[in-house]
Amino acid sequence: MNVQKPKNETKVYLSVGSLETPKFGEQQNMVRGARLLAEKINAGASENVKLNFKIIEGATHSTAFPTTSIQGLDWIYGKHEI
């Protein structure tokens, strides 16, 4: 499998609520899935990929969304560093 790496800076914001697990009513462990995805992104990333991965403490799938969307857009379009 030939994976092309970005030539330009590419920002990826990935987050998940800490309560997004079967224990708290989810069908699958989304926290584990998000961690695995972050590891996969980092493993195949070039120096041009900037990953910002966060676990939103105390948040479920629906309550993580407002925090994630605001912080993600601010990080991607703002002038912030990780």
Structural domain boundaries of the chain? Answer: 10-77
Buried b / exposed e over 42-73, threshold 16 CB at 10 Å, is eeebeeeeebbbbbbeebbeeebeeebeebbe
Confidence (pLDDT) at 9? 86
pLDDT per residue over 18-55, tens digit each? 999 989 888 899 999 999 999 998 887 778 899 999 99
Q: Using a cut of 0.85, tell me whether the model's pTM lies above it.
A: no
Q: Quote the CA–CA distance of 58 and 5 in Å, as a whole number.
A: 35
Per-residue pLDDT for 80 more than 90?
Answer: no
